[in-house]
Amino acid sequence: MLFDTPAYLFFLSLVVITYWHLNFRWQNFLLLIASYVFYGWWDYRFLSLIFISTVVDYYSAHFISNSHKPLRRKIALIISLSINLGFLSVFKYYNFFADSFAHFLALLGMHVSHACLRIILPPAISFYTFQALAYIVDVYYHRLKPADSLIDYALFISLFPHLIAGPIQKPSHLLPQVQRPRVLSMNQLLGGLVLIASGLFRKCVIADNCALLADAAFEGKLGQPNLAVTAIGTYAFAWQIYGDFSGYSDIARGSAQLLGFHFPINFRQPYFSLSLQEFWRRWHISLSSWLRDYLYVPLGGNRNGELQTNRNIFVTMLIAGLWHGANWTFVLWGAIHGLGLCIERIFRSIFRFPKTHSHKAQQEYFFSSPVSFLKLTLTFHVVCFTWVCFRAPSINDAFQFLKGITRLAWMPEYATAFLFLAIFTAPLFVIDLVNEWRREEYPMEKHNPFFRVVVALSLVVASLIFAGNSTNAFIYFQF
């Protein structure tokens, strides 16, 4: 059930209306059933997988919490992590590693036939696995008490607004909300609806229309890669993936808000970043936070000198790349970001640049200085070009596409394509500019309700009229 379909809007309305007529315990039960219906709508065959994973983690967490013997606690932790990562490895990465290994052996002159299983990727597995890992690790380190009720824990894992493609929720943030009654104020209701309207606009109008250009450029329909085609494809995909994922996140947050849950913001105008480090504080914030807390810090973080810090950063970004998909293009994407972050650190320490900017300083810096504008332009283009790895089916295709920069060619259709791109990226750029200026967690939260309703309805009408091809699923659903 895609978020931008009438089926989902009907489903959400039904759930929300029923939900607020029930008491707290029945609310959780209803949400759990609704979440499993939502997941089963995608693919009912994998309901048992998420259920098994949930039950194993629930009992493991209780065992870990109740046991006083360090060895037993560690064994339970390892079992739980192994089962979660095992499912993820088999379903998502088996064929990738098997093919890559066979290819590697072939390069050495050894030809092996390997079992290539037609394994279907269960929807949402990357997301709920990371969520479960965070939970079990937090319980192990006594940062969190395990959920008393299996229903509460199952709901924490499978709550439908964030089930398929995040945002990945910190257990310490979401689980307490699941375990206590929720309320809904008018402000929260309006905030939720505005978020959903904003999300639909980002996805249906911006992302789906940019997708037409991106697909045409990458599939060779605009001709062989040349400077114009590479520019069109790169920029179009950059805005497609941003509109798509931020749109999805907004709908997820808005849907959760209507049920009384608070999901933190997941995108903070990432294309206004002045460095890659800042980009990763603004893009997919829930993932970068998870990677920081559960991978980078356990690896040692920045506690053991510059060399090890850079190693930890690089490894973390490689894993981030691999998490996105079972393809070397994603690994390359992660590696480029990792390398970029390390280079920034080195430059910062050599030239003693300030590490982070406060909110106020950032605002002045971004708008007023030519140097900061250059940094923004450079960061934006580095990010855009790494997106080519995301979009291209193989590393070779990515390089061939980028090589087009060296070729000059023109046809009149390119002018139309650039104009089309401008029409469908300008609105999101303006929205981001306003959000960057106002720095609100919820769009227009300080405005009066009437204004918010008018803006939301305008976004809905624009989505109804200018929605692109609705068969484009959210990009992050494939992860």
Give how far the C-alpha of residue 213 lies from the chain's centroid of Cα atoms, to the nearest Å: 22
Active-site residue identified among 162, 284, 324, 337: 324
Name which position in 233, 260, 325, 340 contacts other proteins (CB under 8 A): 260
Contact 396, 290 (CB under 8 A): no
Residue 262: closest CA among 194, 198, 197, 167 = 167
Structure tokens at 40: 């089963």
For other proteins, the closer of residues 65 and 215 by Cβ is: 215
Q: By the 8 A CB rule, do 408 and 200 touch? A: no
Q: Are the beta carbons of 271 and 171 closer than 8 angstroms? A: no
222 binds other proteins (CB under 8 A): yes
Nearer to other proteins, 265 or 299 (CB): 265
Total residues at the site for other proteins (CB under 8 A)?
A: 55
Residue closer to other proteins by CB (options 397, 413) is 413
Q: Please select the residue that binds other proteins; options are 59, 227, 262, 339, rule is CB under 8 A.
A: 262
**Contact flag: residue 5 with other proteins (CB under 8 A):** yes
Query: Given the complex with other proteins, which of 192 and 325 has the nearer CB atom?
Result: 192
365 in contact with other proteins (CB under 8 A): no
DSSP type of residue 408: -
- Residues 269, 434: Cα–Cα separation, whole Å: 10
Is the Cβ of residue 169 or residue 309 nearer to other proteins in the bound state?
169
CA distance 425 to 436: 16
Does 477 bind other proteins (CB under 8 A)? Our answer is no
Assess 446 for contact with other proteins (CB under 8 A): no
Dihedral of the alpha carbons of 7, 11, 14, 18, in degrees to the nearest 10: 170
- CA gap 90, 93 in Å, rounded: 6
324 given a catalytic annotation:
yes
Question: Of 21, 118, 142, 360, which lies in the binding site for other proteins, with binding defined by CB under 8 A?
Answer: 21
Cβ contacts of 185 within 8 Å, gap of 6 or more: none
In the complex, minimum distance from the CB of residue 321 to other proteins, in angstroms, rounded to a whole number: 30
Contact 422, 206 (CB under 8 A): no
Residues 180-209 that bind other proteins (CB under 8 A): 180-189, 191, 193
User: Which residue number, 32 or 229, has a Cβ lying nearer to other proteins?
Assistant: 229
Q: Does 285 bind other proteins (CB under 8 A)?
A: no
Give the separation between CA 232 and CA 451, rounded to whole angstroms. Answer: 36
Which residue, 41 or 429, is less far from other proteins as judged by CB?
41
The DSSP 8-state label assigned to residue 120 in this structure reads P
Contact 276, 379 (CB under 8 A): yes
Alpha-carbon distance of 185 to 257, in angstroms, equals: 10
Q: At its nearest, how many Å lie between other proteins and the CB of residue 441?
A: 6
Q: How far apart are CA 232 and CA 92, in angstroms?
A: 31
Interaction between residue 453 and other proteins (CB under 8 A): yes
Residue 183 or 307 with smaller CB distance to other proteins? 183
Taking contact as CB under 8 A, which single stretch among the options 20-28, 143-151, 159-167, 238-246 is the one that binds other proteins?
20-28
If one asks whether residue 413 binds other proteins (CB under 8 A), the answer comes out as yes
> Does 445 participate in binding other proteins (rule CB under 8 A)?
yes
Stretch that binds other proteins, among 63-71, 317-325, 395-403, 455-463 (CB under 8 A): 455-463
The one among 14, 24, 117, 478 contacting other proteins by CB under 8 A: 24
Q: Output the six-digit token pair for 133.
A: 């890992």
In sequence order, the 6+-apart residues with CB closer than 8 A to the CB of 184 are: 20, 258, 260
Nearer to other proteins, 46 or 330 (CB): 46
From the list 137, 216, 336, 398, which residue makes contact with other proteins (rule: CB under 8 A)?
A: 216
Whole-angstrom CA distances from 226 to 240, 265, 403 are 20, 38, 8
State yes or no: residue 249 binds other proteins (CB under 8 A): no
Q: Please confirm whether the linkage preceding 427 is cis (ω < 30° from 0).
A: no
Binding to other proteins by residue 161, rule CB under 8 A?
Answer: no
Task: By CB under 8 A, name the one of 14, 17, 105, 430 that touches other proteins.
Answer: 17
Residue 132 lies near other proteins (rule: CB under 8 A): no
Can you spell out the DSSP letters for 412-468? HHHHHHHHHHHHHHHHHHHHHHHHHHH--SSTTTTS-HHHHHHHHHHHHHHHHHH--
Q: Does position 423 bind other proteins by CB under 8 A?
A: yes
Could you list the active site residues?
324
Question: For binding to other proteins (CB under 8 A), which residues are involved?
Answer: 1-2, 5-7, 13, 16-17, 20-21, 23-24, 41, 177, 180-189, 191, 193, 212, 215-216, 221-222, 260, 262, 412-413, 415-417, 419-420, 423, 441-442, 445, 453, 457, 460-461, 464-470
